Amino acid sequence: MKHERLYEEVEKQIRAHPDDVKFAGGVGEEWIRKAEGALGLRFPPSFRRYLAQYGGGSIGGEVVNGLLGIPFEDACGPDIVYNTELDRKQSGLDPNLVVLVDNDGDEAFYLDLSRVDQDGESPVVRAVIEEPAARQPYADSFAAFLLKRIEFFLSGRRAGKAP
């Protein structure tokens, strides 16, 4: 399976770069179902795996939202329910989008659940501050997004600059 190979590579990168690629630890199926219910959405398989296996975390300091395993009304920071509901209220975020990364207004990445492929996967799209409504395709699944962000950070570090 394609996503299995992507997650194997993610695991290699986590082991090779533990100071830069950090995840909090997964949450149970109950929390994933609660988050889906709170947002009125069904998550694709590779994102469900991320939540179950990793929960949430950061790549070179870039926060990748997930689930904290605490009641959503008490959550903040890197929680997908908190951030997605906040963007829905403040900026009218499309109800089919889930906030994955928001780099302080410069760019944001969203899981686009309005589109689902034959494997049940949804793409990740990117928006930049200059044109927040113009979303560009970024990765064909969450697993591909996760690996792409890790590789982006590591390539910037190898080049001696922050990505």
What's the pLDDT tens digit per position in 114-148? 999 999 999 999 987 666 567 889 999 999 999 99
Mean pLDDT calculated for residue range 66-85 = 87
Residue 112: how many other CB atoms lie within 10 Å: 18
- Of residues 109 and 73, more confidently modeled: 109
pLDDT of the residue at 31:
95
- Residue type at 73 in one-letter notation: E
What's residue 146's pLDDT? 92
How high is the pLDDT of residue 96? 95
Q: In this model, does residue 18 exceed pLDDT 90?
A: no
Angle at 63 between CA 155 and CA 36, to 5 degrees: 125
Per the prediction, the chain carries an average pLDDT of: 87
pLDDT of res. 158:
53
Asked if CATH classification 3.40.1580.10 holds for the domain at 2-158, the reply, yes or no, is yes
Say which residue, 65 or 76, is predicted with more confidence.
65
Phi first, then psi, for residue 100 (nearest 5°) are: -95, -50
Question: Residues near 101 by Cβ (< 8 Å), separated by ≥ 6?
Answer: 62, 63, 64, 65, 107, 108, 109, 149
Q: Which residue has the higher pLDDT, 157 or 125?
A: 125
| pLDDT of res. 10 | 84
For residue 110, pLDDT over 60 is answered with yes
Contact 63, 77 (CB under 8 A): yes
What is the Cα gyration radius of the chain?
15
pLDDT of residue 11: 86
Q: How confident is the model at residue 159 (pLDDT cuts 50, 70, 90)?
A: low
pLDDT of 116 reads 94
